[in-house]
Amino acid sequence: MPYFYDPTYIIIIPAIIFALIAQINVTSTFQKYSKVRNARGFTGRDVARQILDNNGLYNVRIEQVSGNLSDHYDPRNNVVRLSDSVYNSSSVAAIGVAAHEVGHAIQHSQGYTPIKIRSAIIPVSQIGSSLAVPLVILGLILSIQPFITFGILLFTTVVFFQAITLPVEFNASRRALATLRDNFILDGEELSQSKKVLTAAALTYVAALFSSLMSLLRLILLSGRRKR
């Protein structure tokens, strides 16, 4: 039976559904709380700068980037990039996202172990992401077991990357919420609403890990069927 019609595809269907639900959830949750303005009128950029300065990270820049939920911290260039929907927005959703990204900058400055591990394995996981499946397919077509085995080993780096990403993201969110509370940036219902946004975002990382695990399981089953 041709590879693309292999019945093991059914294994990844739950992962696809989970990822779709998680993405819809984070988008709808962010949109909902993007309409709720914080009482103090802070923007995402204001909060990011305040938290960075409070932690002595004066050298970390803040830039505005296009896109929706394209926010991220770039450790190579020492810059927090906030999307159009966060940078100048005073919504509780924007405040939560901005504080979360700054949390990553603080993690790097403090040498947080999981983020150091994640940064170290990024090059290998990128190779695994691009080459693992083609190697396994080629190994199946040509009946070359070393290709299959090496492809599976490469893909485990992708799974490990997704796994180590979870504590990194969860910790950044905890830091963000604690900072927003302790510095009286958000309180009461505002803080609860911001937490819902970050929780929805965290679910997308759980979905990514589940998807990677199911894909790895499928590759292992394909390898096992070939041996039989």
3-state secondary structure of 7: helix
Which one of the listed residues 63, 101, 169, 190 is annotated catalytic? 101
In the sheet that 72-74 helps form, which strands lie side by side, from edge to edge?
Answer: 61-65, 79-83, 72-74
Q: Is residue 190 among the annotated active site residues?
A: no
Of 105, 107, 94, 73, give the one whose Cα is nearest residue 185: 94
N residues, the chain = 228
CA distances from 7 to 3, 4, 10, 136, 152 (A): 9, 9, 6, 16, 19
Of 108, 76, 105, 90, give the one whose Cα is nearest residue 39: 90
Active site residues: 101
